[in-house]
Amino acid sequence: MRLNYFDYFRAIAILFIVAGHSLTGWNIDTLPEKVFANIITGGTSLFVFISGFFFHHIFYKNFEYIIFMKKKIENVLVPYIVLSTLAFFIIVIYLGVDCFNLVNQSGGFLDYFTLYAKHLYSGRVLT
């Protein structure tokens, strides 16, 4: 059973998310502008609500948590670790880009390992 009104709601939420990303760089000073910006940037919560609704409506009956987590590890965590490690070695080790965490440090293995762990934990390998 297709719920067309939720498809329309999802389209509106996606438009809000895209509009929220385009608000950067604008001066938002007045109260109406702040309210409008808050509504637009709140589109992500609408999308999360829709995802939760569809999960419960369609997938909940056959949901297996262990299988779900195994797939997440396989499809998200492993590629993240591989690509982040590759980016870290290219940017920090090979290109020698200075990292603010290594200032006034010896630059030894432990310093690089600590920096690598911080970048993996924070997700800021490329930035």
Output the tens digit of pLDDT for each of the chain's 127 residues: 677 888 888 888 888 888 887 777 778 788 988 888 888 877 788 888 888 888 888 888 888 999 989 999 999 999 999 998 898 888 777 777 666 555 445 667 777 788 788 888 887 776 6
Residue range(s) defining the domain that contains residue 18: 1-63
Same domain, 121 and 81: yes
Among residues 47, 54, 50, the alpha carbon closest in space to that of 16 is found at 47
DSSP 58: I
Distance CA 40, CA 19 (A): 7
Domain closes at, from 38, 63, 88: 63
Same domain, 57 and 71: no
Q: Collect all residues with Cβ–Cβ distance below 8 Å to 17 and sequence separation of at least 6.
A: 43, 44, 47
Same domain, 93 and 69: yes
Same domain, 58 and 72: no
